[in-house]
Structure 1
């Protein structure tokens, strides 16, 4: 607050100020509070003084004057006028109520706008509704709102009417667009994400395709590069791996398994290392994304766009005679591609104007997709949320059994409608434009809703728990693997049976143990047991005959025994087997071997008949292998 000294200083300074100029500029157009002119615009006023360019046509001033005069006359005409206004049952934008005295009154955003216009222009009105609660079109004009407007039975259609091309021949839409109408899909909230199985979710479809292609291609590529490298360099140290080994190396690396392949050449090692690095990075990304997918509550809906409805042939329901139906049935509209779904009974257009009934009957019970404009859907889900929360206060899954798609099913501008030739548009549209630009209509549409989003797609407060649906791909992989192994096992049995029959037929046609050219042939394994049974041997089929044909080997130390003439029959037979392999195991005539330490291991060195040396390992594990080789 100013002090006394400050006021004295301000008064002294004002004495030196020039007087305030309260004169208005010349040729200024003044308006009253109701928008009427205080001073008339003279015809001879220059164009620059009324905001027009210098090159504006001469008749423009005359047009402005005539327009002002016309608006003044219309204000006088509508003052005290009684209008007939038609509307639709389209809660919350427009609907009606019957009072106790039988009078029908309008409600909703549309009649809040009409109330504003009524105060502005001082008129009264009656509310009427069409016999059928439909907008109307060329093929569906009878008992519709458009028919009433077209026949001038009403002065105005106060409803948010979508601007469709087919209706323009019957009515005149207001030049001011009330809002951009969006029709949204509502469906049952799925238990799992519709983005696919949990195991496939980390990567998109084309990434999986490229991984599969690389899995098939890298093995042959490595094989060809190794072959080319050996041929160009002439290297005999690096043995080329087979195609099967290379393919199994690629697959084993993908499964994080080791490999028995040990390349020597540097270029081959780089090929193997490159594939290992690629697999390491790929599996790291997959593991991280899989963890994020399985732990977060984010999910996608199975039906987000019109194309999802079309490709999956999903049943959907919408209002009879609404913008969605006419957009589908009209040839030059964006939704005409869904016309065949009407013919195949996938589209249902209900006559019930109660959205709660449609939600429970079609969506909750039958699993349909409900298509409705956004204000109605928001109000519907909010009221359903309040009711279900009163039943169960804590469980959010019960509160929100429905989910709303993000992408609009249909987008259309919505306006009021007038009879063709009516002048009310010129009077009402400027006022409607003021309401739209100030955001009042948008505010009225969402006035009953909270600021927070009701039942969003992602229920952030719900903990994500793994379900069987997340692991279904794992079950499928297991079943596929077992089924494949069963098929391979059956194929092996079939081929062994066919080969056995082929050998048995050849054995039966050409005599026991003989082929057509006289050479001996061993009978099939399937028939060896039968031969033993016929010969009087009572051994069971499939039992081992190893002990009957092979003499048990003598102790390993007998190899170095010089008293060969004292060997038993089994030891002589074992020593004869050694001689047949070209190895002189020692004795009086050939001399004993010499014990040598080679590469840190003990060997007995014997001289072969051809003059070369033969090493016999002395260490127990190697000696056992040597003994088994020469006794078999």
Structure 2
């Protein structure tokens, strides 16, 4: 609430204010309380021609009158006029039919609009088409639609022409935008989802990388911790495992296999248990996500955006001279990044106006991606669906061999075109705007299509059978395992051969059967198997002695008694062993390392152990066989 001082100041200021001005501006249209107009209009102008409506723009009366007068003059002029209208073969939006008498008749959404304008403004028209069915540009101007409009060969271009920056210098687009055109990619429907292989799908890329790193790192970490623990604690009970044993334990746990390692120390047991718990949780998550992926995963396409086409160098085809081609060739357009693909022959611009031909020839046979505006693609796929369903009534995958990408390849506003300086735009565009705002143009574009979605990206089948594509990673792992095993086997043979050569060279330097100190030794089994040593003292296991006329050894028990006959005497002459006789005396039975031996004295005075247990005795008998 104002104080008394503030009221006094306000009264003083009001006394200095100028008087109230009740005069109105010129040309102002006045309306009384009942809504009737009280301003007097010129005598030769009707009230309804003055544009005085509830939604009239705030303009001066002179501007309104001039516009109305001009429109009335245009209506009078066009009444009975014969127009030349150009168009493109762009089914279903605009296409023509050549009659037997040589007359060309226009069809499609564009000419439904033209026919509406014809009925309203009472004009006649003839349809012409450019020599080449192309829109036209700076480098592709001849025989094009843009050339016909630019040189005023026609009065109007009735087609859904995309609004491109380069064409604005040649033609005048209508102020009313008919629609926002969307060019969509259509491709062959893949047999499996593009989200990844069935075995790799449960985890993303970096999860697999971390699992692989942990598989390589945990084994050495456990090995180092065990060594460090033993050295710090001085515990000799827990023997340290080798690095190979630790690495194989980590891999075996990942494959849900057991381990022969049995740690005693509590800290070592915790290390092993930690890895087991980690693997158990990891494999449980993998199994659950793999089941969900194979049954409930959302189907995705391999090519959904322009970047997919660019990064994967995918061949694509589109209409020759259409909006997509000029958007790729024009520098300041969004698709100019695809321009290098034209030079590398990844982009094909087809002259065929038959979409079915392009679909079958490029997409179905060659696997290309076909880029076309949405109305044409939808009608084309719908007709293909009806044809295939008439052949096969049951298999939905046969009905829909093609699929659409979700993201538009290109978006552009589309409109009619006029020659520069033409005043037909002022007459036709307001009527076209009424049709756009009422949704009639959108209705006409989709009139031939059913309300249901035909051949969606995800067919929504409930069954999900495993295919080879889901098991490809399994095949790769198996091949990699066999290849690795073969490489390791080859490496073993190579090292065995190198070691054998090294051992053979040592024998050749020091004499067969003699070392540098003069003592005798036996060659390795490898050298004996290769036949490097001939005439050796021993006989290989499993080799028959009949070919060498070797008398079988006497019974083992006869060695420890005085019987045996000639065979025993022959065995007594072995210079390397002195058997019990009257000269040397009987051997002494000893229990060594839990096994029974007979101890005898050799010729050089050293003691010789003769095993008594049956398996060891058999080996002893084989060793001393001629």
TM-score range for the pair, normalised by the shorter chain length = 0.7 to 0.9
Deviation for aligned residue 1:227 = 4.3
**Would the aligned equivalents of 1:27 and 1:49 in 2 still touch at CA under 8 Å?**
no
Change (3 A) 1:500 1:177: same
Deviation for aligned residue 1:467 = 2.4
CA distance in 2 between counterparts of 1:411 and 1:502 reads 76
**Would the aligned equivalents of 2:556 and 2:617 in 1 still touch at CA under 8 Å?**
no
In structure 2, what is the equivalent of residue 300 of structure 1?
A: 300
- For structure 1, the 5+ residue unaligned runs are 1-21, 31-35, 53-58, 555-567, 587-622
After TM superposition, the structure 1 stretch with the greater mean CA deviation from structure 2, 268-277 or 128-137, is 268-277
Deviations 1:156-211 (A, max 9, x none): 11111111111111111222222221111222222333333322222232222222
CA distance in 2 between counterparts of 1:49 and 1:297 reads 53
CA distance in 2 between counterparts of 1:83 and 1:342 reads 39
1:38 partnered with 2:51:
no
In structure 2, what is the equivalent of residue 25 of structure 1?
A: 35
1:358 partnered with 2:349:
no
In structure 2, what is the equivalent of residue 131 of structure 1?
A: 131
Deviations 1:270-329 (A, max 9, x none): 433333232222212221222233345854333322233233333222111111111121
In structure 2, what is the equivalent of residue 578 of structure 1?
A: 591
Which residues in structure 2 correspond to 1:217-228 (within 5 Å)? Answer: 217-228=217-228
Deviation for aligned residue 1:94 = 0.6
Deviation for aligned residue 1:64 = 4.6
After TM superposition, the structure 1 stretch with the greater mean CA deviation from structure 2, 170-179 or 145-154, is 170-179
In structure 1, what is the equivalent of residue 21 of structure 2?
A: none
CA distance in 2 between counterparts of 1:540 and 1:630 reads 13
**Would the aligned equivalents of 1:504 and 1:524 in 2 still touch at CA under 8 Å?**
no
SS at match of 2:470: helix
CA distance in 2 between counterparts of 1:106 and 1:238 reads 94
CA distance in 2 between counterparts of 1:86 and 1:573 reads 127
Which residues in structure 2 correspond to 1:98-117 (within 5 Å)? Answer: 98-117=98-117
CA distance in 1 between counterparts of 2:38 and 2:90 reads 47
CA distance in 1 between counterparts of 2:485 and 2:587 reads 43
Deviations 1:563-594 (A, max 9, x none): xxxxx979x99965635x699999xxxxxxxx
Deviations 1:9-59 (A, max 9, x none): xxxxxxxxxxxxx984144899xxxxx9526379xx9xx99775xxxxxx8
Say how many residue pairs are matched: 543
Q: TM-score, normalised by structure 1?
A: 0.76
CA distance in 1 between counterparts of 2:534 and 2:518 reads 26
**Would the aligned equivalents of 1:29 and 1:39 in 2 still touch at CA under 8 Å?**
no
After TM superposition, the structure 1 stretch with the greater mean CA deviation from structure 2, 134-143 or 357-366, is 357-366
CA distance in 2 between counterparts of 1:500 and 1:213 reads 38
In structure 2, what is the equivalent of residue 336 of structure 1?
A: 336
Change (3 A) 1:125 1:574: farther
**Would the aligned equivalents of 1:297 and 1:459 in 2 still touch at CA under 8 Å?**
no
1:497 partnered with 2:497:
yes
SS at match of 1:578: strand
Instruction: Provide the aligned C-alpha RMSD in A.
Output: 4.0
Deviations 1:321-361 (A, max 9, x none): 11111112122222222222222222221111111122222
Change (3 A) 1:389 1:342: same
Which residues in structure 2 correspond to 1:279-290 (within 5 Å)? Answer: 279-290=279-290
In structure 2, what is the equivalent of residue 534 of structure 1?
A: 535
Deviations 1:475-497 (A, max 9, x none): 22222212221221121111111
SS at match of 1:38: helix
SS at match of 1:318: strand
CA distance in 2 between counterparts of 1:453 and 1:273 reads 54
Deviation for aligned residue 1:517 = 5.7
Deviation for aligned residue 1:237 = 5.0
In structure 2, what is the equivalent of residue 444 of structure 1?
A: 444
After TM superposition, the structure 1 stretch with the greater mean CA deviation from structure 2, 373-382 or 396-405, is 396-405
CA distance in 2 between counterparts of 1:199 and 1:289 reads 10
**Would the aligned equivalents of 2:590 and 2:597 in 1 still touch at CA under 8 Å?**
no
CA distance in 1 between counterparts of 2:280 and 2:309 reads 40
In structure 2, what is the equivalent of residue 603 of structure 1?
A: none
**Would the aligned equivalents of 2:226 and 2:268 in 1 still touch at CA under 8 Å?**
yes
In structure 1, what is the equivalent of residue 565 of structure 2?
A: none
In structure 2, what is the equivalent of residue 506 of structure 1?
A: 506
Deviation for aligned residue 1:112 = 1.5
In structure 2, what is the equivalent of residue 563 of structure 1?
A: none
In structure 2, what is the equivalent of residue 374 of structure 1?
A: 374
Change (3 A) 1:24 1:496: same
**Would the aligned equivalents of 1:297 and 1:462 in 2 still touch at CA under 8 Å?**
no
Deviation for aligned residue 1:551 = 10
1:86 partnered with 2:86:
yes
Q: TM-score, normalised by structure 2?
A: 0.76
Deviation for aligned residue 1:229 = 4.6
**Would the aligned equivalents of 1:551 and 1:574 in 2 still touch at CA under 8 Å?**
no
- For structure 2, the 5+ residue unaligned runs are 1-31, 41-45, 546-551, 559-578, 599-612
Change (3 A) 1:575 1:142: farther
CA distance in 1 between counterparts of 2:181 and 2:481 reads 52
SS at match of 1:470: coil
CA distance in 1 between counterparts of 2:307 and 2:55 reads 56
Change (3 A) 1:276 1:75: farther
SS at match of 1:449: coil
Change (3 A) 1:77 1:210: farther
SS at match of 1:436: helix
After TM superposition, the structure 1 stretch with the greater mean CA deviation from structure 2, 238-247 or 485-494, is 238-247
**Would the aligned equivalents of 1:297 and 1:458 in 2 still touch at CA under 8 Å?**
no
